[in-house]
Amino acid sequence: MSKDDGESSADINITVKFSGRSIPISIPKDSTIKQLKSHLQPLTNVLPRGQKLIFKGKLLVDAMTLKESEVMNGAKLMLMASQGLHQGGGPILKEAQTRPISRGKETEYKRPDARTEIVMEKDRLQRWKTTGVIALADCNLKAIPNEVWDCGSSARVLDVNNNSIQDVPNKISCLNSIQKLFLDGNVISDEAILWEGLASLKYLTVLSFTRNQLMNLPSALGSLTSLRQLHVANNKLTSLPNEIGMLTRLEVLKANNNRITTVPECIGECSSLIEVDLSANLLSELPDTLGNLHNLKALHLSNNGLKSLPCTLFKHCLQLATLDLHNTEITMDVLRQFEGWEEFDERRRSKHQKQLDFRVVSSAQFDEGADKN
**Where in the chain are all domains bearing CATH 3.80.10.10?**
122-358
Contact 345/321 with Cβ under 8 angstroms? no
In eight-state DSSP terms, residue 176 is: T
**pLDDT for 47:** 80
**CATH architecture classification, 11-81:** Roll (3.10)
Domain with CATH 3.10.20.90 in the chain: 11-81
**Euclidean distance between CA atoms 268 and 242, whole angstroms:** 11
Going from the first residue of the chain to its last (373 residues), give the mean pLDDT of each consecutive group of 10, the final group possibly shorter. 52 89 88 88 81 89 90 90 58 46 42 49 85 94 94 96 94 96 96 92 96 95 96 96 96 96 96 96 95 96 94 93 92 90 87 68 52 49
Q: How many angstroms from the chain centroid is the CA of residue 163?
A: 19
Q: Is the CATH code 3.30.460.80 the one for domain 122-358? A: no
pLDDT for res 128: 93
Distance of alpha carbon 325 from alpha carbon 95, whole angstroms? 29
- Rg of the chain (C-alpha set): 25
pTM value > 0.85: no
Cα 9 versus chain centre, distance: 39
Can you give the pLDDT at residue 116?
A: 45
Contact 43, 15 (CB under 8 A): no
Q: What is the structure's pLDDT at 265?
A: 96
Least Cα distance to 177 among 153, 161, 141, 150 occurs for 153
**pLDDT at site 85:** 55
